[in-house]
C-alpha cells in the first residue's frame, strides 16, 4: 500500500466492479465465444444461412459505428447500445423490424446472462460483508454485470451503472449521484477502482478520494495520482476510520 495524497476521513466506499473485484477479461472472452454460437443458431431460425457469416466482432462493428453516429448518447449505456447493434445487424440480414426487435432483445438477455455466469471466491464475499458492517458500500460501474446473479448486490447500499441516465465514468455524474444518495460531501467518499482514467481521474475530478486497485493489470495507466494505491483489496481494512 502506497500513499500519494493525504487520506481524509471517509464515510462510504464505492467500488468499480469489472477488473477490480474480479478479472473480467476471461469472462468476456468466454462470453464472446458463446455469443457467436448463440447468434448463428438464433439467426438460422429466421432462415439466415449461418455458414455465410461468422457473427463475431467484425460483423457487428460497422453497426456499432452506425448506432453511435445516429445516437451518441447510447455510448453511456452498453446494454442498450448492444441491443441496437443487434437490431441493425438483423435488419441488414433481411429480418423484419418486429423480428429484429425480438432477436435483439433475446440476444441481449443471453449476453447479460453469460457475462454474469461466474462466481466470486468466498474470500471476496467475506471481505465485502466485513466492509458492509463498517460503512455503506456502493457499486459504480460502466458495465452491465448482473450483481444479483453473481451474488454481491446484497453488499451495496446503492448501485449505479452507466446508462442513458448515468453518464459513463470518468464523467463525474455517478460519483455525484452517489454522494447525493448517501448525503456525503465528495471527499467523504473513497472510490476503489482499477482504471487510471475512469476510476482515479473520474473520482478525483468529482472531489472524491481514490484507492487505485489494479490487480489484473488491465486498467488504463495513471495520469493523475490517486490518494493511495492498494496491492490487494484486504488492505482497505488497515485504513478504515
Residues 208 and 186: beta-carbon distance below 8 Å = yes
Number of structural domains (the chain) is 2
Same domain, 85 and 127: no
Same domain, 126 and 232: yes
Distances in Å between the alpha carbon of 231 and those of 40, 190, 204, 235?
42, 16, 20, 7
Place of cell 462470453: 31
With a cut of 80, say whether residue 50 has pLDDT above it.
no
Closest of 71, 78, 77, 69 to residue 166, by C-alpha: 77
CATH number at residue 74: 1.20.120.1600
Exposure of 39 by Cβ count < 10 A (0-12 exposed, 13-18 middle, 19+ buried)? buried
Average pLDDT over every residue of 75-79: 93
Same domain, 87 and 197: no
DSSP element (H, E) containing 184 = none
pLDDT, tens digit, for every residue of 87-129? 999 999 999 999 999 999 999 999 999 999 999 999 999 999 9
Same domain, 11 and 82: no
Closest of 238, 138, 239 to residue 186, by C-alpha: 138
Mean pLDDT of the residues in the chain = 95
CATH number at residue 212: 3.40.50.1000
Residues 120 and 150: beta-carbon distance below 8 Å = yes
The predicted structure's pLDDT at residue 180: 98
Same domain, 199 and 138: yes
pLDDT, tens digit, for every residue of 165-210? 999 999 999 999 999 999 999 999 999 999 999 999 999 999 999 9
* Segments forming the whole domain that contains residue 95: 26-115
Last residue of a domain, one of 68, 89, 115: 115
DSSP element (H, E) containing 95 = none
pLDDT bracket for residue 241 (50, 70, 90): low
Same domain, 131 and 233: yes
Q: Where are the alpha helices (DSSP H) in the chain?
A: 25-44, 57-70, 78-92, 97-115, 122-134, 173-182, 202-205
With a cut of 80, say whether residue 156 has pLDDT above it.
yes
Last residue of a domain, one of 74, 89, 115: 115
Q: Give me the sign of the Cα torsion angle 53, 56, 62, 64.
A: positive
Same domain, 9 and 126: yes
Same domain, 126 and 77: no
Same domain, 103 and 135: no
Last residue of a domain, one of 115, 140, 162: 115
pLDDT, tens digit, for every residue of 177-188? 999 999 999 999
pLDDT, tens digit, for every residue of 137-151? 999 999 999 999 999
Amino acid at each position: 500500500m502506497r500513499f500519494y495524497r493525504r487520506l481524509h476521513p471517509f464515510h462510504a466506499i464505492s467500488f468499480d466492479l469489472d477488473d477490480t473485484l474480479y478479472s473480467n477479461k476471461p469472462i468476456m472472452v468466454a462470453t464472446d465465444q458463446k455469443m457467436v454460437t448463440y447468434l448463428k443458431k438464433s439467426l438460422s431460425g429466421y432462415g439466415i444461412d449461418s455458414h455465410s457469416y461468422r457473427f463475431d466482432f467484425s460483423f457487428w462493428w460497422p453497426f456499432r459505428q452506425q448506432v453511435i453516429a445516429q445516437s451518441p448518447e447510447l455510448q453511456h449505456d452498453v446494454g442498450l447500445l448492444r441491443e441496437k447493434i443487434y437490431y441493425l445487424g438483423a435488419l441488414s440480414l433481411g429480418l423484419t423490424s418486429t423480428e429484429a426487435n425480438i432477436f435483439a432483445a433475446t440476444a441481449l438477455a443471453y449476453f447479460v446472462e453469460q457475462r454474469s455466469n461466474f462466481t466470486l471466491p468466498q474470500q471476496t464475499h467475506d471481505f465485502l460483508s466485513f466492509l458492509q458492517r463498517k460503512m455503506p458500500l456502493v457499486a459504480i460501474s460502466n458495465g452491465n454485470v448482473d450483481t444479483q446473479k453473481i451474488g454481491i448486490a446484497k453488499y451495496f447500499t446503492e448501485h449505479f451503472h452507466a446508462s442513458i441516465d448515468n453518464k459513463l465514468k470518468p464523467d463525474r455524474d455517478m460519483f455525484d449521484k452517489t454522494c447525493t444518495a448517501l448525503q456525503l460531501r465528495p471527499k467523504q467518499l473513497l472510490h476503489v477502482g482499477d482504471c487510471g482514467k475512469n476510476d482515479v481521474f473520474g473520482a478525483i475530478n468529482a472531489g472524491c478520494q481514490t484507492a487505485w486497485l489494479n490487480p489484473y493489470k488491465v486498467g488504463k495507466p495513471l495520469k493523475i495520482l490517486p490518494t493511495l494505491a492498494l496491492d490487494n483489496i484486504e488492505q482497505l481494512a488497515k485504513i478504515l476510520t
